[in-house]
Amino acid sequence: MDTPPTGAVDSVLVADKYGKSRVRLMKLVRRADRHNLKEITLEILFQGDFASCYEAGDNSKILPTDTIKNTVYVLARKHEIVAIEEFAQCLIEHFLNNNPQVSEVRVEMTEHLWSRINSTAFTRASGKRTAVVTGTRDGMTIDAGIGDLLILRSAGSGFEGYIKDQYTTLPETSDRIFQTALLATWRYKSRSLNFNGHWERIRETILDTFATHPSRSVQHTLHAIGKQVLASFPEVVEIQLTMPNKHALLVDLSPFGLDNPNEIFLPTDEPSGYIEAKLVRR
Which strands, in side-by-side order, build the sheet including 18-30? 18-30, 35-48, 102-118, 121-136, 139-153, 178-188, 236-242, 276-280
CA angle 150, 151, 157 (to 5 degrees): 145
Buried residues in 246-255 as b, exposed as e (16+ CB within 10 A): bbbebeeeee
3-class secondary-structure state, position 280 = strand
Q: Is the peptide bond before 271 cis (omega within 30 degrees of 0)?
A: yes
Report, as residue numbers or ranges, the catalytic residues.
20, 65, 247
Residue 180, strand partner residues: 151, 245
Burial 131-157, CB ≥16 within 10 A → b, else e: bbbbbbeeebebbbbbbebebebeeeb
Task: Report the Cα–Cα distance between both ends of the chain, in Å, rounded.
Answer: 58
Half-sphere exposure of 251 (CA within 13 A, CB side): 11
Radius of gyration of the chain, Cα coordinates, nearest whole angstrom = 24
